[in-house]
């Protein structure tokens, strides 16, 4: 009887051991698969052109957070209209586009938010861009200033990894507004430390009458300027390994 029990125990242990080995093998295969997919995604960031790229557009603010308001116009609505115009142009160029929010809903709650809640929302938007394995993250905003004469677009970037993208878009916004503005570096949560090149675009000043009318009634012109910057940047890319280019490894 004891011998029979011993045989059963040994058999059970063998089965457990076999299952453990199979589990470890499967886990290893999944890790290898994820590593390969992650490496391929990051290499694709530097393949030339927009066709085949995934771009995440973040229409800033929304829901209970209207952003800047001027002459009855809400920044959140302007951001969404501009994001949709840019989405259409990018898709016509062969890119896949995902938005971090739809209308006034999506990741934005229908209530007043604390600073911590706002930070959590921005973290969710960053996470969405990573989950989509996007090759670029574009956060769309409209600027505001106490001086109604302030005008033009400003592109922000967090680090040198995203600098060339910011410079390219800034060039075309300057042509649109006939301004000589420079890109600015800032660690805004939405663009800070991402795996993909990320920029925050203040597409014009909602507090300036001419800019505001451009943003509301001619958003396709603004979207085309942004697209031109994205295209110039994408067309200038070289695959990883050429000219010593490296992707962000995080």
Residues 158 and 220 in one domain: yes
Residues 86 and 209 in one domain: yes
- CATH number for the domain spanning 185: value is 3.40.630.40
Residues 36 and 127 in one domain: no
Q: What's the pLDDT tens digit per position in 41-97?
A: 878 898 999 999 999 999 999 888 899 999 999 999 999 999 999 999 999 999 999
Residue 249 domain flag: no
pLDDT exceeds cutoff 60 at 248:
no
Residue 93 domain flag: yes
Residues 145 and 39 in one domain: no
Residues 5 and 103 in one domain: no
Q: Distance (Å, rounded) from C-alpha 248 to C-alpha 243?
A: 16
Report how many domains make up the chain.
Answer: 2
Rounded to two decimals, what is the model's pTM?
A: 0.83
Residues 155 and 94 in one domain: yes
Residue 246 domain flag: no
Residues 39 and 75 in one domain: no
Residues 11 and 60 in one domain: no
Give me the pLDDT at residue 7, please. 54
Residues 111 and 189 in one domain: yes
Residue 18 domain flag: yes
Helix %, strand %, coil % for the chain, to 5? 50, 15, 35
Residue 247 domain flag: no
Domain that holds residue 55: 48-238
Residues 29 and 84 in one domain: no
Residue 182 domain flag: yes
Residue 112 domain flag: yes
Q: What's the pLDDT tens digit per position in 180-223?
A: 999 999 999 999 999 999 999 999 999 999 999 999 999 999 99
Residues 83 and 198 in one domain: yes
Q: How many CA atoms lie within 13 A of 152 on its CB side?
A: 18
Residues 184 and 105 in one domain: yes
Q: Which residues of 66-100 are buried (b: 16+ CB within 10 A; e: fewer)?
A: ebbebeebbbbbbbbbbbbbbbebbeebebebbbb
């Amino acid at each position: 009887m004891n011998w029979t029990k011993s045989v059963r125990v040994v058999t059970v242990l063998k089965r457990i051991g076999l299952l453990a080995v199979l589990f470890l093998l499967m886990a290893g295969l999944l890790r290898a698969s994820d590593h390969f997919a992650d490496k391929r995604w990051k290499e694709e960031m530097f393949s030339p052109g927009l066709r085949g790229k995934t771009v995440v557009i973040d229409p800033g603010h929304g829901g209970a957070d209207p952003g800047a308001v001027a002459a009855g116009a809400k920044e959140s609505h302007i951001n969404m209209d501009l994001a949709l115009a840019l989405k259409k142009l990018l898709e016509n160029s062969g890119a896949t586009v995902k938005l971090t929010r739809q209308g006034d809903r999506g990741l934005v709650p229908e209530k007043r938010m604390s600073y911590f809640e706002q930070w959590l929302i921005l973290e969710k938007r960053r996470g969405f861009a990573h989950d989509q394995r996007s090759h670029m993250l574009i956060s769309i905003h409209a600027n505001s200033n106490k001086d109604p004469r302030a005008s033009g677009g400003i592109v922000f970037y967090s680090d040198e990894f995203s600098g060339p993208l910011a410079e390219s878009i800034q060039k075309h916004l300057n042509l649109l507004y006939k301004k000589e503005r420079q890109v600015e570096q800032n660690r805004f949560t939405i663009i800070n430390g991402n795996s993909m090149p990320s920029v925050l675009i203040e597409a014009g000043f909602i507090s300036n009458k001419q800019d505001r009318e451009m943003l509301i009634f001619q958003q396709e012109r603004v979207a085309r300027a942004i697209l031109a910057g994205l295209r110039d940047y994408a067309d200038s890319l070289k695959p990883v390994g050429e000219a010593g280019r490296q992707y962000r490894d995080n």
